[in-house]
Amino acid sequence: MSSTLPDEIVDLFGDDPHPERSWRLLAPVDQDFVEQIALRSGTDPGRMTRADFLHLDADARRRRERRMQQWYQSWPYMRTGQYRLAERRIAALPEPKPGRAPDLLAAPFITGESGVGKTFFLKHVATRAITESAWNRRLDLEDGVVESDPTYRSTWRPVIWHSLQGNPTPKSLFRTLCSSLGVPTGDDPHASFTTAAQRHGVRWIFLDEMQMVNYDGQYGRYLHDALKALQNQGFRLVMGGHNMRSVFRRQKTAAQNAARMQSEARWAFIDFSRYEHRTPQQVKEWRTLLGRLDDRLRLEGHEPGERVLSQQFEEYLWVSTLGYANSLATLVTDACIGAMRTPSQRITRALLDDGGVEDRVAQGRQERIRLWESGRLSWSTDWPAWAV
């Protein structure tokens, strides 16, 4: 059955035979969130020869340039090995049921260094949770399951997303969560949110940037306990934060250490890392990732199917970015946009050399490239530690 929804959104509904019906059940704020993530890969501008481009009038040329720039500034969701593993681990956890506290229900916690793609992954998982929840709700409505269920009397919000800032207190966090549902906080924001979340049918709560919490302080411990209480109330928590294992191990007192041990028992850590380039399997995955980016090239100077990034610049790109996803995205984007503005329409070494990367990767970059060019670079060196 054909759908007027963009293919990227239809894909998120999986095998749902009526994605548009399910889509209409979502609140506008959730539809907006899904669109921002699902359409992040951009609208394909197609290919155009230089001669055809020059025959366009000024407005048409400008529209074409803007579409090309938006296409290269976008970044697709690519299921690399660690993404697939994390997806399976999250999908394998049992779904919380309203009114029934889960017993030893581990909350997935995506952790690792900054720049390895944790937030991008979490947002994609959140979109899948929204669309799958919409499909489930449609079935429940059609089967008459929810007619007497009070959780559906208000605006239905199956998923809440929040990125922590500063050093949040329990009250400030739950005030923000209440605000996301459009409800007043009252004197007890935690209780207000719990009541409102149950009324709005919330099942999933995504919390990113969890390293912002000061776990050594009093507020940190209270917030810790509040999050565990949400688990006990049947909400599915999915969290993310930089290097959380080391954050928890920096606790100072016996009480704080005991709380840390309880959290590690209740929070299922899923470690993300940069792409390595040591074993044949690691090199293969890196080349596969770059190959997906090659498939997105729409530059006249490169033939369709030409392996530019995955062959011509494969080693160079790893040496320059050390396998950090965010740095790779920045460097490739800069090179593609730079190339589209040149007569040759080709990605060159000069364009890549001028491209930006994150500060931690920029340190030592020229030295790494010099060693690589001279054949003296060791792929097994712990380059991030050495570079910083």
- Kindly state the tokens that stand for 191: 């209780």
pLDDT reported for residue 75: 84
pLDDT reported for residue 35: 93
Nearest to 340 by CA among 14, 73, 13: 73
Nearest to 131 by CA among 256, 287, 18, 273: 18
pLDDT reported for residue 352: 97
Residue 98: count other Cβ atoms within 10 Å of its Cβ.
Answer: 15
Beta strand spans in the chain (E): 107-112, 159-163, 204-208, 236-242, 267-272
pLDDT reported for residue 222: 79
> 179 vs 151, 238, 244, CA distance in Å?
18, 19, 27
* Cα angle 1-28-140, degrees, rounded to a multiple of 5: 55
* Cα angle 66-72-74, degrees, rounded to a multiple of 5: 100
Rounded to whole angstroms, the Cα distance separating 231 from 105 reads 7
Rounded to whole angstroms, the Cα distance separating 94 from 330 reads 37
- The 3-state DSSP class for residue 269 equals strand
Contacts of residue 175, Cβ cutoff 8 Å, sequence gap at least 6: 185, 189
- The DSSP bridge partners found for residue 190 are none
pLDDT reported for residue 254: 64
Chain centre distance of CA 314: 24
pLDDT reported for residue 388: 40
Largest CA distance in the chain: 74
Rounded to whole angstroms, the Cα distance separating 323 from 383 reads 10
Contacts of residue 232, Cβ cutoff 8 Å, sequence gap at least 6: 101, 102
For the chain, give every domain's residue range: 81-124+146-272, 276-387
Q: What is the pTM of this model?
A: 0.85
pLDDT reported for residue 331: 96
Instruction: Please count the CA atoms within 13 angstroms of the CA of 286 that sit on its side-chain side.
Output: 26
pLDDT reported for residue 387: 46
Q: Are 237 and 110 in contact (CB under 8 A)?
A: no
- The 3-state DSSP class for residue 96 equals coil
pLDDT reported for residue 168: 83
- The DSSP bridge partners found for residue 272 are 112
* Cα angle 349-346-40, degrees, rounded to a multiple of 5: 100
Contacts of residue 4, Cβ cutoff 8 Å, sequence gap at least 6: 20
Q: Along the 388 residues of the chain, how does pLDDT read in single tens digits?
A: 456 898 889 999 999 999 999 999 999 999 999 999 988 767 889 998 888 888 999 999 999 999 999 999 888 888 888 899 999 988 887 666 655 555 556 788 999 988 899 999 999 999 999 999 999 999 999 998 875 455 555 689 999 999 998 888 888 899 999 999 999 988 899 999 999 998 999 999 999 998 887 766 666 777 878 888 888 888 889 999 988 777 666 666 665 666 566 666 678 889 999 999 999 999 999 999 999 999 999 999 999 999 999 999 999 999 999 999 999 999 999 999 999 989 899 999 999 999 989 888 998 999 999 999 999 998 888 776 554 4
Q: At the topology level of CATH, where does 81-124+146-272 sit?
A: Rossmann fold (3.40.50)
Question: Virtual CA dihedral for 334, 337, 340, 346, nearest 10 degrees?
Answer: 20
Residue 108: count other Cβ atoms within 10 Å of its Cβ.
Answer: 22
